[in-house]
Amino acid sequence: MKLDAVLINGGGIMAFYPTQIPYHHRSQFLGDHDLFGDFLKAAKTAGMRVVARMDCNYAYEEAFKAHPEWIQRNRAGSPVTHSQSPWLYATCMYTTYFTEQMPAIYREMNSRYDVDGFFTNGWPSTGRPTACYCDACKNAPDPNSPAGYQRHLDRTLAIWKMWDDVAKQKKPDSVYVGNLGGGIRTVIDLGKIAGIAGWFNADHQGRSGATPIWDCAQQGRVAQSVMNGRTITNVTGSYANSSPLWRHTSKAPEEMTMWMAQTTARGMTPWFHWLGGAPEDTRWTETGRKFYQWIAVNEKHFVNEKSVANLGVVFSEQTNAFYKAPGGTDNTEFLGGMYKALLDGRFLFDFVHEDNLNPAVLAKYSALVVPNVACLSDAQCAVLRAYADGGGSLLATFETAMYDEHGQARSEPGLANVFGFEKAGARVPPNGNAAYAHIERDHPILEGFTGTKVLPLSEYYIPLKAVANPVLTVVPPYPAFPPEMVYPRTTHTDQPAIVLSENGKSRRAYIPGDMDRSYWRSQDGDLSRLLVNTIRWMLNGSSPVTVDGEGVTELFAWKTGVGLALHILNYNNPNMLRGWMTRNYPIGAQKVRFAVPEGTHVSRVLLLRGARNAPFIRKGNVIEFSVPQVVDYEVAAIT
C-alpha cells in the first residue's frame, strides 16, 4: 500500500500491551504478550510512523468500583453503560479520568515505545454535549444552552491542549489528534479547536440510509474551512458500515473507492480502516492497495497549496447549535439543498467557516452564498456588509441573520439593509400547497422557464414589504386537497419572492423562502434551476474553471506544488442518494476551460487516472482541453 503511517490499537478502554497503570484493563487474551509493541516494531522497521489509537470513553467495572466519580450518571443517578456492551461504563470528561488517568496512560506508552502521536476514538466528537448528572456535572447549565455549549467547548479545548502537551513530552513533533467527524452536522466550534489542533481527523467512514454520496466531500470542506492548509485525514471504513451493520464483511469496492477519491479530491489524506486482526473476508485489501499505489505514483500532484475557487459558502455551527428550523426539521437541510444546487451548476466553491468571516479570508471570493445562516453576531453581519459594500456579491436565504449568535431573535434582520428589504410579518407555513412565485418580468435568473408564469417558491417564507420592479412575487399557499378546493385565494401580491440589486460590482440576491431546504426535501428541478441561475448571475462570468458535459459531478481545483490540478468526481449513479455504489456508470467527454495565473507556462495536461496526456489549446490565460471519459474519478494535472 506504500503507507507512510499506521494507527494501532493501544489502550484506554482496553490495553493491547502489558500496562502497569491501575484500572487500565488488559485484554483477557493478552497474557504477557505485547501486541502493540510487536506491531509498532514491525511498522518502524518498514519505515512507517505509528499513532496509538486510544479510547477514553469507557472503562471496565474495576475502574467504576475504584473510582465511581469517573463515570457518567443519568438523571436518576445511575451509572451510564454502553448500550451494546453493558459491562462498560461511560466516563465523564469533567472528571480526573480525563486529567489524570488518560495522561498517565499516554506517559506510560511514550516511555515504552517510539510513538509518533495519539488519537482518541469517539472523543471529542462534534455533536451536541451529552447531559450528565455526576458530581462534577450536577450543577452544570443545560448542555443545549449557550452557557452549556461554552462549558463543553472550554473543557474540550483544555483537555485537547493537555493531551497534546503530554504527547510532546517525549518528542516535540509528536501530536495528539481527536475525533472530529460530523461534517455539516457539526455543533461544536471547530474554528476554536483548529486553533490548537495540529491535525484534524474526520472519522467519517461511510454512509448508510439516505446519506448522499458527496457527504465525504462535505466533511472535507468543513475541515478545510478551519485548518488553513494543515493536515486533514478522513477515514474510509473498508467494512460494511451500512444499516444494518456488518463490521467483518467488505464494503462494495466502487463505494470504497469513491470515498477515498472524495478524500483525495478535497485535499485530505485518506485513512483506510479495518477492524479486527484475522479477517476472513479480504476483498477490501485489493481495493485499498490499488488506490494507495495510484496515490504513491502521483503524490506530487496532491500536494495542494491553495484552492482555485472564487465562490464561498458560509458554514455555521452556531446556527446548528441554537437555531430551531421550522417544522422541527434538521438544520442542515438548508445547506444540503444549496450544496446539491451547487453540484447541479458545477460550481467550484469553498466553505467559509463563520469564525473566519474576516476581510482577509473573504478577499479571495468574488461571491458568497449564505444558506439560511440564521445565527450571526453583529460583528459577523458587519463583515458581510463591508464585503458587499466593497464589491463582493452576496446571496442569502430565508432567516439569515435574523437571530444573534446565541439564537436570540433580532427586532430587525441583521442584513436587511444590505439587500434592501423590510419584513412584513412572521414566517408563513404551508397550507397543503407550499408558496409559489409569480413571474413579473424577464431576468437572467429566469433562463429556461418558458411556458409558465408561476414557479415553486418554498415551504416556508418570510413576508416582505413591496420593492420596486420585482422579478418574482409571492403567491401565498392554499389547500392541496380536496381537489375542489385547489385554487389560489390570493392570485397576486406585491410581496417579493426574491430581492435583487446591484451596487457597482456587487450583485445581491435575498430569497425570503427556505428554497434551499425545499429543494433538498423535494428535489424539484425548478428550485435547482432558480438557485443555479441566481448564483451564475451573481458571479457574472467570473468562474475560474468551467466543465461542460453530461452527468452529476463534483469539481475541485487546486494550485499544487508542481502546477494546477482539476479533480472530477463522477456521482452519476442510481445509488447517488441512497445505499452504496455497486457499479460505475461512466460519463462521456467533459470540456474544460481553466484560467491559469498570469505568466504561467503550461507544457502538459496529464490525466492521472487514465494515465494519458490530454491535448490542449491556449487562448490567452485560458487552457481548453477535453476529458474523454470519467469512470469514477479523474484528475487533470496541468504542469
pLDDT of res. 260: 97
CB 11 within 8 A of CB 109: yes
Mean pLDDT in residue range 38-42: 97
Q: Are residues 244 and 348 in the same domain?
A: no
Measured CA to CA, the distance from residue 189 to residue 353 in angstroms comes to 10
Measured CA to CA, the distance from residue 262 to residue 214 in angstroms comes to 8
Q: Are residues 316 and 273 in the same domain?
A: no
pLDDT at 327 exceeding the cut of 90:
no
pLDDT at 413 exceeding the cut of 90:
yes
* The model scores a pTM over 0.85: yes
Q: What CATH number did the domain enclosing 584 receive? A: 2.60.40.1180
In a domain, 576, yes or no: yes
Percent of residues, the chain, with pLDDT higher than 90: 95
In a domain, 64, yes or no: no
Q: What CATH number did the domain enclosing 45 receive? A: 3.20.20.80
pLDDT per position as a tens digit, 149-190: 999 999 999 999 999 999 999 999 999 999 998 899 999 999
Mean pLDDT in residue range 436-451: 97
Q: Are residues 358 and 262 in the same domain?
A: no
Q: Are residues 467 and 585 in the same domain?
A: no
* Residue 156 three-state SS: helix
In a domain, 226, yes or no: yes
Q: Final residue of a domain: which of 509, 539, 569?
A: 539
Choose among 364, 486, 380: nearest CA to 436.
Answer: 486
In a domain, 88, yes or no: no
Measured CA to CA, the distance from residue 344 to residue 327 in angstroms comes to 26
In a domain, 76, yes or no: no
In a domain, 432, yes or no: yes
Return the C-alpha cell found at 249: 464483511
In a domain, 530, yes or no: yes
Alpha-carbon torsion 54, 57, 62, 67, what sign?
positive
Task: Read off φ and ψ for residue 162, nearest 5 degrees.
Answer: -60, -45
Q: Are residues 393 and 478 in the same domain?
A: yes
Q: Are residues 245 and 336 in the same domain?
A: no
Q: Are residues 407 and 350 in the same domain?
A: yes
pLDDT at 632 exceeding the cut of 90:
yes
pLDDT at 276 exceeding the cut of 90:
no
E runs forming strands in 498-562: 499-503, 506-511, 545-548, 553-560
Q: What mean pLDDT value characterizes the chain?
A: 96
Q: Are residues 156 and 273 in the same domain?
A: yes
Q: Final residue of a domain: which of 303, 322, 338?
A: 303
Q: Final residue of a domain: which of 282, 303, 324?
A: 303
Per-residue burial over 601-622, b = 16 or more CB atoms within 10 Å of its CB, e = otherwise: ebeebbbbbbeeebebeeeeee
pLDDT at 589 exceeding the cut of 90:
yes
pLDDT band at residue 307 under the 50/70/90 scheme? very high
Domain that holds residue 368: 311-539
pLDDT band at residue 602 under the 50/70/90 scheme? very high
Give the helix, strand, coil percentages of the chain, each rounded to 5: 30, 25, 45
User: Please, what is the end-to-end C-alpha distance for the chain in angstroms?
Assistant: 26
Q: Are residues 34 and 170 in the same domain?
A: yes
E runs forming strands in 251-293: 269-273
Q: How many domains does the chain have?
A: 3
